[in-house]
Chains A and B, each alone.
Chain A
Amino acid sequence: MIASLILVVSIAALLQFFISYCRAILAAYRKVEISAETREVTGIENAHVDGSEFQRLLQLVRLCPEAGDDGLEIRAVRTYYAILNAVRMFFRPVAPAVGSWVEQERASCAYFAAVALDRRIAHSREMMAQLAGRS
């Protein structure tokens, strides 16, 4: 009885803590502006990035050489995005308010991916500049 209660409460808390953790990462990335170069590459025109762009932006991120310090956050946000998609599928028809919240969060995930791409492009440029400097 106690074990089953602990199991249910722990899973609910795990979900809530994980969502909060991901939102902390997203909120920190929200403060970063995307450079004009990355906007041009990705076709992003204003501060809002559509949630459906997340997968495409993540594919572009994967094409860039890894900076080696963003793996944890990318994995966490990718999982969060998958959770959001599941919530969207189940709740959008019955609760439109949840649907709009999910869209907002998906947009934050896409913005995160755009900033991650921006950082990796900057990292690649830095590496290229260093290589050019050596030769």
Chain B
Amino acid sequence: MLGPVDYFLWFASAALELGVVLCAIWKRTFFRYFTLNLYMLAAFVGTLVRYFVLTSFGFSSPHYLYTYYYSDALLTICLYFALMGLFVHVFEEMGLARHVRVATLLLLGGTALFSYQVISGANDRMTDRFVVELSQNLYFVGLVVSYILAGSMMKVRETRLRLIQFVLSFGVYFSALAAFYAARNMFPVLLPYVRWLPALMGTLLPLAWIYAYTKVSEETRLATSHVAAVQHSK
């Protein structure tokens, strides 16, 4: 059963997701960061669909369960495309955009195949276990890709603060959710205590993007050495 906190986080994330798109339009960067905004639009639609299924069939219904996990998996795939968009931004001057696109699609296909392989041995309730396993693996691969992207940004000395903030917020989002799904797989008894975490992260990611759109201009530059978590001695 959902409580007031769950509903609050739900409506807040929907409002913030829409807020990101509106901020992008307001700042005239909708097409510049098209994949990010497309993800936020998809997330907003996903939130509405989930709410419709919840009110029509109930929280414990299989309809809601399937809608939740499949929309989550689809949105994670959209996030991959958003990440791919950021890769293209970082490597656009080096002419590597096409290679990045191919690599991301291969990674996505590989992750889905790996998850299917892991689960295909199980006989009971294969499909819903597949989606949980797929979510865990997709978030983890997302985390690895974000890590590679953050590392590449340091390597190519990327200085655009807005871009840096997008990538780092992605990293926080993916790692928190990968940890959540892994912990859920290992300790299912903990689920009632941490079930709000995905919803909370669902509000923090758009909040971080709204911050990046409204408070950081496209021209703001920053030395990446100031950002690296582990700083080498000067």
Contacts and interface: CB of A to CB of B under 8 A. Distances in A.
Interface string B220-234: 101100111111010
Interface stretch (B27-35, B65-73, B211-219): B211-219
Interface residues of B, number: 40
Contact of B143 (A13, A19, A28, A69): A13
Contact of A28 (B147, B161, B179, B185): B161
Contacts of B165: 21, 24
Interface in A11-33: 11, 13-21, 23-24, 26-28, 30
A73 B216 CA distance: 12
Contact of A3 (B164, B168, B182, B233): B182
A7 B182 contact: yes
A14 B173 CA distance: 8
A115 to B, nearest CB: 13
A113 to B, nearest CB: 17
Contacts of A10: 139-140, 143, 175-176, 178-179, 182
Contacts of B230: 16
A23 B136 contact: no
Contacts of A2: 118
B168 A17 contact: yes
A6 interface: yes
B45 interface: no
Contacts of A18: 172
B146 interface: yes
Interface string A74-103: 000000000000000000000001000100
A73 B207 CA distance: 10
Nearest to A104: B231
A17 B205 CA distance: 13
B143 A101 contact: no
Nearest to A13: B175
A5 B172 CA distance: 18
Contact of B229 (A4, A9, A16): A16
Contacts of B208: 21, 72
Interface in B161-212: 161, 164-165, 168-169, 171-172, 175-176, 178-179, 181-183, 185-186, 207-208, 211
Interface in B128-151: 136, 139-140, 143, 146-147, 150
Given A3-B186, A24-B161, A28-B220, 11 more contacts: A3-B136, A3-B182, A6-B178, A14-B171, A14-B172, A20-B227, A21-B171, A23-B229, A24-B164, A69-B214, A97-B233
Interface of B: 118, 136, 139-140, 143, 146-147, 150, 161, 164-165, 168-169, 171-172, 175-176, 178-179, 181-183, 185-186, 207-208, 211, 214-216, 220, 222-223, 226-231, 233
16 contacts: A3-B182, A3-B186, A4-B182, A6-B181, A7-B183, A10-B140, A10-B182, A13-B175, A14-B172, A17-B229, A18-B172, A21-B171, A23-B227, A24-B227, A69-B214, A73-B211
